[in-house]
Structure 1
Amino acid sequence: MTGTRTRPRRRPRATRTRLLLLVGATLVVVCGATALTTALFQRAYVMGEFDGRVVNAAERSLGGAALHPSSSTYLGFLRDDGHPSGMLAARLSGDGKVLSAAVVMQDAPPRDLDAAQQAALTGLRADGSQHTRAVPGLGAYRVTVLRSGGVQVLTGLPTADVENMLGRLVLVEAAVAAAGLVVAGSVCAVVVRRQLRPLGRVAATAAEVARTPLGPGDTLTRVPAYDTDPDSEAGQVGAALDHLLERVRHSEELVRSGEERMRRFLADASHELRTPLASIAGYAELVNRGTGVVDPVLAWRRVSAESARMTALVEDLLLLARLDEGNPLRTARVDLAALVAEAVWEARSADSGHDWQLELPLETQALVIGDAPLLRRAVTALLSNARTHTPVGTRVVISVEPLGDHWVIGVRDDGPGISPTLLPAVFERFTRADSSRSRADASTGGSGLGLATAAAIAAAHGGRITVESAPGRTEFRIRLPRAMESGPEKGADADVRAAALPPRPRRQLVK
């Protein structure tokens, strides 16, 4: 069985070559059409002028023949001066038969035409129209027949000189057209080459970028500024490529930054998990030895505490992972006022050393669509952050207030503030406060995931969290979209409301 032979694909021509071929073909067609039109017009004009000369000669011959109407063969008028050399004249009968014919010779008497030559002139009518006849031995003639009374005279002039002149004109026009094509083609080649040169440089830049390995420290070649002119198509391509390279560079930086954050995240998470694991392993080893150095009850309490700490850290990491994946939330209509009030009561119960204050909206519910446990966790994280990183006696004000089509949860304290160097990274994972935020000891600090978790929860609800800090005032604000007053619930059994709370004033001090 013979396989089908595949025809090799033709290599595409370069844009420059295709443009030159297209322009060249267009020029050839235009020049050819122009030359042909000009030649036809010139021929029609010259032949029209020549026919006028033929008519004039015929009228003169008819006038000479009319002087001798009785002689049907008289051609003596050809001997008069003024007749051009080569002109022929003939006397015709009524039915167009040639009776006599002669041709004017240069420096010699007129010569009679023979029978064959006369036969070539037979059959013409005296209608004043011009005809072309080939006369044997004399060549092509332009002839016409005029009649006056009973006299009919045929007169003709040779077309050789006219044809030669038209031929020379055609040759001159062809030479001019060819020269024009060469000049125009050369100019077009130069123009096309110059106009496509920026595109060639852009293509060279793209090819060089394609060959450049993308690795740490590698720099991508950029398109020169003079090849990014938006007023030209090549400049637009160059600008687009330059913008694409900038985005590639930015994406590469984001990838490297993400990899660096991931490495740091894994290192911090490993460190946070290793600390309680080491403590648990140490107490377990001491209890197993039975040396009596450590009370088993105390050891068990420490193991339980470290286990809870490790469990909380793992839960925070799993929650952040779920939020990063964009998993759908179990949403319902949540009253932020009730949720915040409960969180503040719990914070007050856990820590009486701070001055906790609560500000809620008057006689209205602060409704949002969200996951109530997650929102409570975000608020708790902010309260825990204020309790952990501010000294005893600090006043912490928690508020819920409307702002346009959002509700804003604010947590404000009058503590020492956040260091300006730490402030930009305060919502990054495993970020901890430095000495500018008071901490009792290392064990009282969090894992560095609280604020990151709060920021991720706010983002998952279509909101955002911000912070402003200065010595004596630090405020965290969570903005969440309002819920429609009569909108449908989304997957919850009931609203989270403050039904058990009494009517509250604008500012309420929690005791």
Structure 2
Amino acid sequence: MRRPRSLRTRLVVSSVALIAVVAAVISAVTTIALHSYLLGQLDTQLSDVARRAAGPGPPGVNKPPHAADLRFLTMGGQPVGTIGAVVPDGGEGGVRHGGISVQSETTAGEPRIDARRLTREQTGALGQVPLDGAPHSVDVPHAGGYRMISQPFDGGTLLVGLPTAQVEDTLSTLVVVEVCVSAAGLVAAGIAGAASVRMALRPLRRMAQTAKRVSALPLHQGEVVLRERVPEQDTDPRTEAGQVGAALNRMLGHVGSALAARYESEMRVRRFVADAGHELRTPLASIRGYAELTHRGGEPVGPDTRHALSRIESESRRMTDLVEDLLLLARLDAGRPLNTRTLDLSPLVVDAVSDARAAGPGHRWRLDLPGEATLVRGDASRLQQVLVNLLANARTHTPEGTVVTARVRRAAAGGGVAVQVEDDGPGIPRQTLPHIFERFARGDPSRSRTHGNTGLGLAIVRAVVAAHGGEVSVTSAPGRTVFTVRLPDPDTEPPVPDGRSPAPGERAAPGRRPAGAQGQPPAPDGQLPAVD
């Protein structure tokens, strides 16, 4: 496939090609004009030579016997190589005789002009010249190009010719000069054009740099302050580049307004979730308490009442779990600092698998741990929750008898620690896989939970891992599903959460502000209002 050329290259090539066409046209016109001019001069000189050769007096008048003599070839007054030939009246028999002037030397070494007789081949070529008194171009064998003219005299017609070698040499020299000058001009035009186009495209390059900086901003999350703009010098509406720059600035302004509106909407939703969760905790705790108190009371109740109370207690517990998950996600979204310390992941994995074995005795649980400690820096309770959620996900989404393996591996130098939860269950549907870590995501019925759930377990996993500066991924196929959590080394600097102001010595990401109400600083410790 042909690689596309840059705009600068296309402009320079187009300019040079245009100059080359103009130079070719000028050179061709100049050459043709000079050729016509030189031939005109040669024809004038040829006419003079022919009149002198035919002798004085008007044509058709009786001339002296020497009028048709070819001695004029040796008398001078015309260039060396002049041809003279006699054609009898009526042109019968063609050219009778002819000669060509040549330069030789005397015995004393002085130059002189002699006449050499034309060969039969040469006289045959002269016989093709029309006897109309007009100049004609003829190619004389072994002599080159000639301009020939006929001059009548008493008893016949005299043919006189002058060589065109000088004209051809002049034109050849002109063509060489034109080619050299045009080539030098094209080289100079290419260099000057490249420099001028580079300067002309400088505003576009600055716009491209602005667009590149904007594309590098994390616009997908947090509050984005889009300060990047095209420099004012590149927004002059009188120029095409300035019009593009002004339009780009207007577009960036609209995008910034849209991002600010989006962030404000997100903050309102987060505040609502936090406030709602906070307010629901107390009535849910009261409902559960009254339900448990009713169970402990001595008053006799019917089976329907006992069933209703058990359902109230079960659903209140489920709603409490949902509220706790929502509050945890709200805290993580707000960037609440984690209680981090250096810890070994292996004991956490052992405890999580032990709890999972007790909750799912129908599954086969396996551990694959390294021989050495796998140290990371993190919040032990949050990392424990990550492991519990991953193992619970494997337990509730796979049938009994499924083998679930929890594996811990230290990656290459500087690669951190990887924790994997693998099962040989039916796998995750392909259409669900890209959305598996979204909040309230559900798989298809073949992997649905057998009991109530919040749909936030894997979303919490991703949020907690991201708060630790790590990442979580999943690969799935029938018979093998693997969730992989990668955590950085303990000496790696933890990331600055989006929801709090940078600590001393930290720098916030460019183009972003900490989460919080627009135009106001975030709440203390990165907490959202009404989140405890």
Q: With the length of structure 2 as denominator, give the TM-score of the two structures.
A: 0.47
Asked which structure has the greater CA Rg, the reply is: 1
